[in-house]
C-alpha cells in the first residue's frame, strides 16, 4: 500500500466539513458579488448585447416597478459572481467529496477543477455567442410596423441568465461521465449501446433546463449535448484504461 489508510470520519465531522465548505463558498460569492456590483453597468451592456444586435433601431427595454431595475442589477451581479468564483466553488466541492475517494483517485483534483471550469465557461460562451443571438433573432422577426417588441428587463434577464447557466452546467457532462466511468457505474460500451436512449434523455433534459418552452432553444441546447455525449464516450474509454486494478483498489481502500 502506497498511502496510509485514513481514519473513518464520523457523521458529525462530515456535517462540520460541509458547513465549512458552504461558508467558504458563500464568502467567495459575496466578495465576487461586490466586485461585480461595481461593474454592474458594464455587465448589463454585455448581457443585453445579443438582444441589441437583433432589435429594430430605437428600441429599448422597460421596467414596470420602481425597485425592478435595482433588483435586476443585483441578479446580474449574482450570476456574474458565480461565473467569476466558479473555480474556487468547484475546488471546495472537490475538497468535500475527496475524503470519500480512493487515494489514487485524489490526484484528479487539479484536472477536475481545471476541466470543470473550462467546460462551464465554454458552455456559457456557447450560449452567449451561438444560442442567444439566433434565438432572439428568430423571435424578433415576428415584429412589424404594427407589432413592436417592448421587452421587460425582468423577463429578459430571467430568460437569458437561466439559459446561460443551463448551458454552463450542461457542458459538465463529459466530467460527470468520466467520474461515473471511474467508479464503474458506466462504461464506453454501455454508453455506445444506449445512445438512442441517451438522445431521448438529452432532449427531455433540454426541455427542462431551458427557461422557454419553445422548440428552438431546446434544439439549440440538445445539439451540443449530443456532441458532448459522444465526447463522454471517448472520455469513458480513457477512464477505463486508467482505472486501477481491483487488487490495487483493495490495498488502497479505506472506510468512508
Question: Does residue 160 contact residue 168 with C-beta atoms inside 8 Å?
Answer: no
DSSP β-ladder status, 61-62 and 151-152: parallel
SS3 235: helix
Residue with cell 421587460: 152
Q: HSE (CB half, 13 Å, CA atoms) of 121?
A: 13
> What angle separates helix 153-170 from helix 132-140, to the nearest 10 degrees?
140
User: For position 25, what pLDDT does the model report?
Assistant: 93
Q: Which helix (H) or strand (E) holds 62?
A: strand 61-62
- Tens of pLDDT, residue by residue over 54-99, are 887 777 888 888 888 899 999 999 989 988 998 898 888 888 877 7
- Tens of pLDDT, residue by residue over 206-231, are 888 776 666 777 888 888 899 999 99
Report the alpha-carbon angle 130-134-135, nearest 5.
110
Give dist(CA 135, CA 173) in Å, integer. 23
**What is this structure's pTM?**
0.75
Question: Does residue 26 contact residue 117 with C-beta atoms inside 8 Å?
Answer: no
User: For position 181, what pLDDT does the model report?
Assistant: 86
Judging by beta carbons within 10 Å of its beta carbon (0-12, 13-18, 19+), is residue 172 exposed, middle or buried? middle
For residues 159-177, average pLDDT: 88
Residue 28 pLDDT greater than 60, yes or no: yes
Amino acid at each position: 500500500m502506497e498511502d496510509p489508510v485514513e481514519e473513518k470520519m464520523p457523521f458529525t465531522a462530515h456535517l462540520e466539513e460541509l458547513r465549512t465548505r458552504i461558508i467558504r463558498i458563500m464568502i467567495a460569492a459575496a466578495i465576487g458579488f461586490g466586485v461585480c456590483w461595481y461593474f454592474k453597468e458594464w455587465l448589463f451592456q454585455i448581457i443585453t448585447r445579443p438582444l441589441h444586435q437583433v432589435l429594430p433601431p430605437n428600441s429599448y427595454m422597460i421596467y414596470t416597478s420602481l425597485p425592478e431595475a435595482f433588483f435586476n442589477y443585483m441578479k446580474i451581479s449574482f450570476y456574474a459572481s458565480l461565473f467569476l468564483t466558479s473555480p474556487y466553488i468547484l475546488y471546495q466541492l472537490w475538497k468535500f467529496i475527496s475524503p470519500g475517494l480512493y487515494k489514487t483517485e485524489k490526484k484528479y483534483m487539479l484536472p477536475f477543477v481545471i476541466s470543470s471550469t473550462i467546460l462551464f465557461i465554454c458552455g456559457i460562451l456557447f450560449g452567449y455567442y451561438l444560442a442567444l443571438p439566433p434565438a432572439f433573432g428568430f423571435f424578433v422577426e415576428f415584429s412589424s410596423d404594427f407589432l413592436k417588441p417592448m421587452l421587460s428587463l425582468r423577463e429578459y434577464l430571467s430568460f437569458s441568465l437561466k439559459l446561460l447557466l443551463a448551458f454552463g452546467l450542461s457542458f459538465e457532462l463529459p466530467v460527470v461521465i468520466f467520474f461515473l466511468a471511474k467508479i464503474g457505474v458506466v462504461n464506453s460500451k454501455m454508453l455506445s449501446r444506449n445512445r438512442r436512449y441517451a438522445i431521448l434523455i438529452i432532449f427531455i433534459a433540454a426541455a427542462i433546463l431551458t427557461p422557454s418552452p419553445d422548440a428552438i432553444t431546446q434544439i439549440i441546447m440538445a445539439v451540443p449535448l449530443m456532441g458532448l455525449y459522444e465526447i463522454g464516450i471517448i472520455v469513458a474509454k480513457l477512464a477505463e484504461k486508467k482505472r486501477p486494478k481491483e487488487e490495487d483498489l483493495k490495498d488502497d481502500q479505506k472506510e468512508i
